[in-house]
Chains A and B, each alone.
Chain A
Amino acid sequence: MQTHQYDVVIVGAGGAGMRAALESSARVRTAVISKLYPTRSHTGAAQGGMCAALANVEEDNWEWHTFDTVKGGDYLVDQDAAEVMAKEAIDAVLDLEKMGLPFNRTPEGRIDQRRFGGHTRNHGEAAVRRSCYAADRTGHMILQTLYQNCVKNDVEFFNEFYVLDLLVDHDLAAGHVPEGEEVNVSGVVAYELATGEIHVFQAKSVVLATGGAGKIFKTTSNAHTLTGDGMALAYRRGIPLEDMEFFQFHPTGLAGLGILLSEAARGEGGILRNSEGERFMERYAPTIKDLAPRDIVARSMANEVREGRGAGPNKDYVLLDLTHLDPAHIDAKLPDITEFARTYLGVEPYTEPVPVYPTAHYAMGGVPTNIEGEVLRNEHDVIRGLYAAGEVACVSVHGSNRLGTNSLLDINVFGKRAGISAAHYAAQASFVDLPEDPAATVVAELEQMRTRPDGERVADVRRALQETMDANAQVFRTEESLHQALADLRELQKRYQAVSVQDKSRTFNTDLLEAVELGFLLDIAETVVVGALNRQESRGGHFREDYPDRDDKRFMRHTMAYRRPLPEGRRSSKGDGDAKGAFAHSTTFEGYQLVLGSKDVVVTRYQPMERKY
């Protein structure tokens, strides 16, 4: 075992992690720990762009962007955070340009901008050109540019190190810690893939930037490595997860594969059609049609298929039509995604429409933070020294449905903020003592899993998890389907206790790490399903067929999910937040319970209205 000491440790080297690292490393001694090489992160798969009201091509302002974000999130957005994001978006884009990002340009040489779903002029009047982009590989260029600047600034990386535990000086999962009591982070425990060695990192500040958890679903645009590690680590340590029931299903995944075709395809004029050739979005969103927010488009598509108007031999997808666009325009603006259609489906987008169906894409929920990136352990109290940014976090700028391009924006704005906050805190704080034998839990779990002679295959349990989530907790949900998912999950958690790996070695043992990641996925899935069961309303990405309307009276609050010990005797275990009314529920699992609580939504300028496009 090796021990390291840094002022700031950043977990994850995607967009949020590297943006934080650029700030933090300029101020204090910083290490970035990542389970992948930095440029492998899934930020690189983002295609369409990053919105900012630069007004380079038409009138725009950040207040309109704020409004669109709030409305897009079906009013579950914290409006103070949305305002920060929309305001700082402009500098975030300019920062990237100055770092070297090759944005597409206008004839005047300025950063070009294009339309994107849900982004409008003057509070919904018409679509606005707000998205700054680099062809259809904006995320790739952001990831490359941030890594290039990390190289320039000599940022220290620990590549292919898996963080497997978060060290906090109170075990929040073991019981209730009174409000106001000081809780501190002291570091993380990591596993070096190349050697199997354990590393303990003592740090004054830890920034979680581990990304999403799309692999709880079968059909997903997410990378194999997006297994919710940071969320699960926090949850296991008793830190709540916020709004986990809100998962975004992106409308245009390649049918049957889930590989993403950017919304930019529709931003550039692409049209969705059903088997009858009808432009069906005209019926669902008469004003902005195909450029309605993702939850609405995804639901409309699923509905077309359900009502028998799906295309293809099994009538199980709809068609994205680009054939009316000039091939030269397609090549200039959408080269990568049209190539995906050719490579993976053998479809030529110049002349044939592309089969598409919604694909699990983005977790709106995550580790709760305030606008400085500080992690909350209940409604009010922060954990000192712990920060989170990007998809792992819930700040909450996306509410119940994220607008396209706002994730690339989120990682830049809040990655930067978290990096600065973490460094400022570390500059004046002292190290917190590590617990005795800090790696004990991790070592014991790994050894148990590695040495268990025979048992369940990781892949079988994972497949069963993904199948039940797709069948029961996807675009359409009901009480019945969610109960089924919960029952399946309990069964799978039991089976997980018996998984064994075939690879017993210490060198680059990905078999073992896949088993660990499956454990994370099971934990995340439980928070998604329980949150979805409790939320008896439909809002944004969460659609309950048995409760098709939004219910502001009962549910205009953020869900908080806490892992807590089982109640002793008749005393019921407490969550740490406000657990009144609709959120006063707990669900028992093997050895612990999930206690729900809730948190206020910050409303500043915009009162909830009906969401029409």
Chain B
Amino acid sequence: MTAVAEAPAQKVGEVASFTVTMRVMRYLPDENGDAVPRWDEFQVESHGTDRVLDALHKIKWEQDGSLTFRRSCAHGVCGSDAMRINGRNRLACKTLLKDLDPSKPITVEPIKGLPVVKDLVVDMEPFFASYREIMPFLITTGNEPTKERLQSAAQRERFDDTTKCILCAACTSSCPVFWTDGQYFGPAAIVNAHRFIFDSRDEGGAQRLEILNDKEGVWRCRTTFNCTEACPRGIEVTKAIQEVKRAMITRAF
């Protein structure tokens, strides 16, 4: 199962227009790269099916063009717009305003633990660097088969959950261990290691487990479940991390 939406009972068009207050954390570096973070408030006219991303676009397009955030697909598959909305990591394009109690101001901040570049944009490089370190690719030995490698439906199902990752960093930047220790690989890198460790076709599991046995590896996880709660794809992140820990004990080491 992917993430279950809190299914609203209304039909399209039944939710009337409303005005919502958006409180957005701003960080606008000047020519020297200096900036002081501040909160800006905007009033936005919204409709029933509008998402936080729509509200941000309305601000950018109608009120303040300097408001800066990343976005692309706008329906939860590209992973560009993870941000902290009312204190929780979510994708702006998957969070409907009406599900957030629009009678109160909605706060929007950049995800935590990564350097802020401007407004809601953070430097993603450290995040991708961790991802690249766990060797996120199929490792095989021997001759390539002429046709496909065989894999049973059950073997395929074994790692299905972790193939859903869109590298949005919502999990990693919700992790208290990552906030205090940027060296920690973080949940997303472990999820992507899991995707290969439990793929029956892969032969690089031992190498990946060794990488994650590092002092900044899986053992730093404190099982707070923030990552599972943050994942916009409904991946059971904490469970995946536990499975990697278990594999370390039961496999090679």
Contact = CB atoms under 8 A, between A and B. Distances in A.
Interface string A35-61: 011011110110000000000000000
Interface string A480-508: 00000000000000000000011101111
A511 B65 contact: yes
A255 B66 CA distance: 31
Interface in B147-174: 147-153, 155-156, 159-160, 163-167
Given A37-B124, A137-B164, A346-B9, A503 B78 contact: no
Contacts of A106: 153
B224 to A, nearest CB: 26
A445 B36 CA distance: 31
B18 interface: no
B124 to A, nearest CB: 6
A459 B31 contact: no
A339 B167 CA distance: 19
Contacts of B69: 510
Interface stretch (A107-115, A278-286, A360-368, A556-564): A107-115
A108 B152 CA distance: 7
Q: Which of B29, B137, B153, B156 has the most CB of A within 10 A?
A: B137
A45 B75 CA distance: 9
B226 interface: no
Contacts of B80: 36-37, 40
A111 B148 contact: yes
Interface string A92-119: 0110011110111111111100000000
Contact of B72 (A36, A312, A345): A36
Contact of B75 (A342, A344, A346): A344
Given A102-B199, A148-B136, A339-B2, A505 B66 contact: yes
A369 B253 CA distance: 54
A151 interface: yes
A348 B7 contact: yes
A93 B148 CA distance: 9
Contacts of B76: 340, 343
A410 B62 CA distance: 39
Interface in A57-114: 93-94, 97-100, 102-111
Given A36-B80, A345-B12, A152 B96 contact: no
Contacts of B60: 459, 511
B72 A224 contact: yes
A140 interface: yes
A33 B84 CA distance: 29
Nearest to B11: A346
A259 interface: yes
A569 interface: no
B101 interface: no
B218 interface: no
A110 B94 contact: no
A327 to B, nearest CB: 11
Nearest to A313: B13
B12 A355 contact: yes
Interface in B6-26: 7-13
A503 B49 contact: no
Nearest to B78: A40
A335 B2 CA distance: 7
B247 interface: no
A256 B14 CA distance: 13
Contacts of A144: 163, 165
Contacts of B66: 502-503, 505, 511
A257 B64 CA distance: 24
Contacts of B144: 98
Contacts, number: 181
A336 interface: yes
B137 A149 contact: yes
Given A457-B61, A507-B29, A40 B151 contact: no
B194 interface: no
A97 B30 CA distance: 48
B117 interface: yes
B71 interface: yes
B127 to A, nearest CB: 10
A342 B1 CA distance: 13
A194 interface: yes
B156 A102 contact: yes
A465 B216 CA distance: 51
Interface string A297-312: 0000000000000001
B157 to A, nearest CB: 9
Interface string A209-228: 00000000000000111000
B189 interface: no
B78 A109 contact: no
A99 B80 CA distance: 25
A99 B150 CA distance: 14
B138 A99 contact: yes
A256 B159 CA distance: 35
Contacts of B145: 98
A257 B49 CA distance: 9
A94 B73 contact: no
B249 interface: no
Contacts of A506: 31
A35 to B, nearest CB: 9
A105 B156 contact: yes
A151 B64 contact: no
A134 B144 CA distance: 22
The 10 closest A-B CB pairs, nearest first, are A100-B138, A502-B65, A459-B61, A109-B150, A503-B66, A152-B137, A148-B137, A511-B65, A346-B8, A223-B72
Interface of A: 36-37, 39-42, 44-45, 93-94, 97-100, 102-111, 134-135, 137, 140-141, 144, 148-149, 151-152, 194, 223-225, 255-257, 259-260, 312-314, 331, 335-336, 339-340, 342-348, 355, 457-459, 501-503, 505-511
Given A36-B80, A140-B77, 12 more contacts: A36-B78, A37-B80, A40-B79, A105-B152, A107-B153, A109-B155, A110-B150, A340-B75, A342-B7, A346-B8, A507-B29, A510-B69
6 contacts: A44-B166, A148-B137, A256-B12, A346-B8, A458-B61, A511-B60
